[in-house]
Amino acid sequence: MKQLPDTIKLTYLIAAVLLVTFVVFIVMMVIVYNKRQVFFIQQQRLREVEHQNEMLQKELEKQRSIEKERERISHDMHDDLGAGISAIKLQAEFLKQRVDDQELQDDIDELLKTSEEMNISMREMLWSLNSENDTLGNFIEYAIRYTEHFLKKTTIVLHSDSENIGTRTQISTELRRNLFLCLKEAVNNAYKHSQADTITLSFSLQAAIFTMIISDNGCGIPKNHHEGNGIRNMKRRMSELTGECMMTTESHGTRLIFRIKL
């Protein structure tokens, strides 16, 4: 077999070198392009993270300003309204001691009752405004204390129990207030309609599902009884919070179950 001339060998060699050089160039271009793409993506993600941090910071500042405003309102209510209600109550008690007319005394008693109801409502609003109360522990403590005070002048006995409750578990102000309004309505309904001598409050937390049960040992609700505004309002409140409100009733009592994922 004849050997190829040196010029052809040289041509093949140059062509091979050029081909290898071209391939290496293409590979280098691809590597550089990929690095530039990775760098661009990293820069884009960094800008997104910085934007998210800025938005989060603005949201935190907004929340802090809201909390400061809530604290200011609660302090003003406590100092101004609280003092005004106390002054009205003291004045009414003073007038009652100086009046002999029974009818006028009855009117003053109504005034005293109204001032006490206003005082209770104001305390509820102050509790709702205070962001330090945005925990399950504070909600449960206040719910029990409120129910005890509500039933104080009745013959109904209150029982309460809690299960797996993390007292420092955070909840929103909106959730806390709506749960309280549901409890308030349920306790009021049990007092007015159940003819019960015992009411039980139960609170539990399982797998981030918070459950509140208000039950009584009263006469139950007739099967043909239509839902009143109170029940509808409780169901609406829980539905708006993506929770649920269920009612079970028997001849020996009624249970209202409120359940929501925290």
Domain borders along the chain are 1-132, 134-262
Beta carbons of 253 and 194 less than 8 angstroms apart: yes
Judging by beta carbons within 10 Å of its beta carbon (0-12, 13-18, 19+), is residue 187 exposed, middle or buried?
buried
Whether pLDDT at 159 is above 90: yes
Whether pLDDT at 129 is above 90: no
Whether pLDDT at 55 is above 60: yes
User: In sequence order, which residues have a C-beta less than 8 Å from that of residue 111 and are 6 or more positions away?
Assistant: 88, 92
Strands 157-163 and 198-206: parallel
Q: What is the pLDDT of the chain when averaged over all its residues?
A: 85
pLDDT at 73: 72
In CATH terms, the superfamily for domain 134-262 is Histidine kinase-like ATPase, C-terminal domain (3.30.565.10)
pLDDT band at residue 1 under the 50/70/90 scheme:
very low
Whether pLDDT at 18 is above 50: yes
Beta carbons of 258 and 242 less than 8 angstroms apart: no
pLDDT band at residue 151 under the 50/70/90 scheme:
very high
pLDDT at 4: 55
pLDDT band at residue 78 under the 50/70/90 scheme:
low
